[in-house]
Amino acid sequence: MVRRPYLCALLFALVYLSVAEAQQYPIMDMIADKLIQKYQQATCEQLWQKKTEKAQPKSQMEQNALQALKNNPQMRTAFINKVAAPIANKMFECGLIP
């Protein structure tokens, strides 16, 4: 078996970057985890109902979190990278996206 040191180096770099990113924004991680859990625990019927309801006003905490994401592109990228796949998968399973 031929060893490929560049693959090991790449794997190490990816693991290092993912750990560093997770530690960079601990509050954002907590919010993202809460959002992911909310989607994963919701039934498809609940998600369909939310889609058809009128938008509720956001709390001050939600507004502050959104403002922080708007003001920090790196944090926004980390947030989207974390929540996109789990939420999109749930929405796909429920027929909310094609």
Task: Please answer whether residues 33 and 79 qualify as being in contact, where contact means their C-beta atoms are separated by less than 8 angstroms.
Answer: no
pLDDT in tens, the chain (98 residues): 445 555 445 455 555 555 555 578 898 999 999 999 999 999 999 999 988 887 778 889 889 989 999 999 999 999 999 999 999 999 999 999 88
**Integer Cα distance of 84 and 73 in angstroms:** 16
Pair of tokens at residue 39: 């989607």
* Unique residue bearing structure tokens 């509720």: 56
**Integer Cα distance of 44 and 1 in angstroms:** 48
Chain-centroid distance, C-alpha 94? 18
pTM: 0.69
